[in-house]
Structure 1
Amino acid sequence: MSKSQKSLIALLAVLLLFFGFVVIRIGVAKPATTVKAAKIPAGEYDPAAWGQYYPLQYASYKKMAEESPSPTGYGGSVKVQKSEMQPEILMLFKGMPFSRDYSEDRGHVYALEDLRESKRIGPASKGACITCKTPYVEQAYKEMGWDYANKPLSEMMDKSKQPVACANCHDPATMNLRVINPAFIEAQARRGIDVTKASREDMRSYVCAQCHAEYYFAPGTNKVVFPWDKGLKPAEMYAYYSEKPNGFVQDWQHPDSKANMLKAQHPDYELFSTGTHGKAGVSCADCHMPYMRKDGQKYTSHWVTSPLKTLDASCSPCHNQGSAWLADRVKTIQDETFELQHMAGQNIVRAHAAIKAAAARPDVDESNLAQARELVRKAQWYWDLIAAENSMGFHNPSQALNTLGQANELAHQAIEIANRAAGVKLF
């Protein structure tokens, strides 16, 4: 055997020993990503108690206390009034609490604080308002059923010690994802969906959908209801409301047009679920709670924020166009959506004014006036579905632009019919 052959055999022996050692180490060592589930007592709603066992998740959760503007200029977690960018809001919501206070939402950790400080609540406000603000809703519903919704809000706030936290989305014994909002569970059941049998991937959106969705309070009981019985698209939800479900007719009557108006509430899930990402099986958590690594351990970020703040982790697993291209794409979609949203909002304001002017004429045609009021109600509902949603159109760009386009057209129709009711062109 030659000297070179002996050297080669020796090298192979060393390599075999080295890689054998590595394989054995991998085989016997626990993966760095393995975290043993801790059995947290039922009813423990303080996220700090959960954080003792899940420090990486808890540290990222606390980042929601940071207040910062949106990377694109839309939304963000700074508590500013939306009317600063859209002054038409003050007229659109004239006669109801959103004209007094309509600020940008802050992080989950501020859910109770922002509710307590809101100028939209008062002595008559009901306990239904805590439904999406605290994990305590689980206990309230177990003890009282839907009766908690009709209790004074002040009473329910006193019992709600923690804002949105771990227990809203996780079973304390198993850490499995869960939903606790009874309104969401009931809405899904009416659609033929048993949330207890949902896949983990579906649950990664359901835990968000249980609160980031449109709802109304049933008259008399203040039970929270999601208007999903006919579907999640704008026309389907509007058709549902048109049937006056549970005796619900309106959120308020606009003092100028006297139209019976609807107020949309952050319909994020409705827009997302019918968009490209939702239909492709992407979950809310994939983008807003991406996987992270620290010291070799993989964990889910609980800093629920704009994906643009975690762009590489949120978008790069599926997109390879580069961060600059992705950020520009989002900004373009949001700019175009806001332009049309702003335009539609201004035209709806004009429609309210036109109807008011027509109604003041002694010879007004009441039939045409009623039609104009229905048109402005529908126009503002369509506008509000996008204006109240948190992605500025990104969750479903085509549907957002289509919805706003319809809102704009409906506003013009309302003005035209109001002029017809007056028998003269007023606007």
Structure 2
Amino acid sequence: MQLYPFTDPAAGAPRQIVAGEGAWVTDADGNRFLDAVAGLWCASLGFSDERLARAAYDQIRTLGYYHSFKNRSAKPADDLAAKLVEMTPGSIARVFLACGGSEAVDTAVKLARSFRIATEEPGRMKVIARTGAYHGSLGMSASLTGMGYVHDGFALPGGVVRVGRPHPYRDKHPNESDRQLADRLARELDETIRAEGAETICAMIGEPVMGAGGVIIPPEGYWPAMREVLRAHGIHFIADEVICGFGRLGTWFGSDHYDLAPDLMTMAKQLSAAMSPVSAVGLSAEVADALDVQSARLGTFGHGVTYGGHPAACAVALEAIRIHEEMDAPKVARQKGEALGALLERFRGMPGVGDVRRLGFIAAVEIAPDAGFGGAEVGAEAEARGVFFRIIGDTLAMCPPYVATDEDLRRMTDVLEASIKACRARAAA
């Protein structure tokens, strides 16, 4: 039997999904569900796309597998790396290919630390990450994740320095403005770096918008202030674009929206529209050049994974990028995001709802602490009515596929409204 991730074994057999079309999936009992979060924030083109299937089939018939070790490669891997350098922020000059987001994050940290060894700063090994951040569940990626459920019961690597999250709804002080929150968090970052010693820190990692942490959209001025602090201390920035990348925020990358110019950058999920396991780490010229010099001195670049640069996975990713470009995914995200935002207006001020937030085509409705019911109850009610939301504490997250229709968005929000009202009525009974 499978050991199911992020699942309580006492919960019994999971719901088995057997088919998908557009934004909808079907379980083994024939029940259909609208998936409001594109699986795990990733199925941007829906759950079955003929062009992506054809790309995989054609590549497997030609060359089903090859690796990128020992001075060999496959053309789709080289083409994908070149395309990613072309479309990512201008600071990115080279790309390393892997298989998943957690793997990309582990790699990015490994390379950030290797840069410090290459530049004769071996004491700079710590990495700054934020409370409530999600960066994966492997080794270092789990340590960086600021959530207890990936830490409890595991012996994880150390070297993480934790700072606060930019959550205006939950974390503002009384009478504090959004801008004051941003400035306070930047001061906290500076104070933390000084207390730890900048000479011990190699990098900070952050999602432009925190996804699995609760769709936390930073207040205006937050990222410019944070980047200024990092630059002042000579600390690199790793942009975790696993959720924000490939159009989701209304720009190709979250780093474009916030003008982040990252030193390293992780990509996955919508890179292949979730139809093949592929991820990437972008490196600035400064980082890549230092690693080249060090690798030449050592005789090799001693990092790689068996399926990194897998030709079929890369062929699917290239086709997904073509489709995203043809549809103008950032424009789709802006337009459909505005439509979703209009539908979410009814939740502002609704009894039991504490906050509504959205940027591009990612959004959340958060249940108020004093509602008398929680997000899990609302999520269960919505599932019974045929819609899957991502439940993050008391937050109902939405990250629909780009192919979701206007009718899908209405259905999603209608079910959410009915579910909240049903929970509120039970709480009042």
Report the TM range for the smaller structure's normalisation: under 0.3
**TM-score with structure 1 length normalisation?**
0.26
**TM-score with structure 2 length normalisation?**
0.26
Q: Please identify the structure whose Cα radius of gyration is greater.
A: 1
Compare relative contact order (CA 8 Å, sep 6+) and give the higher one, 1 or 2.
2
Greater per-residue helix proportion: 1
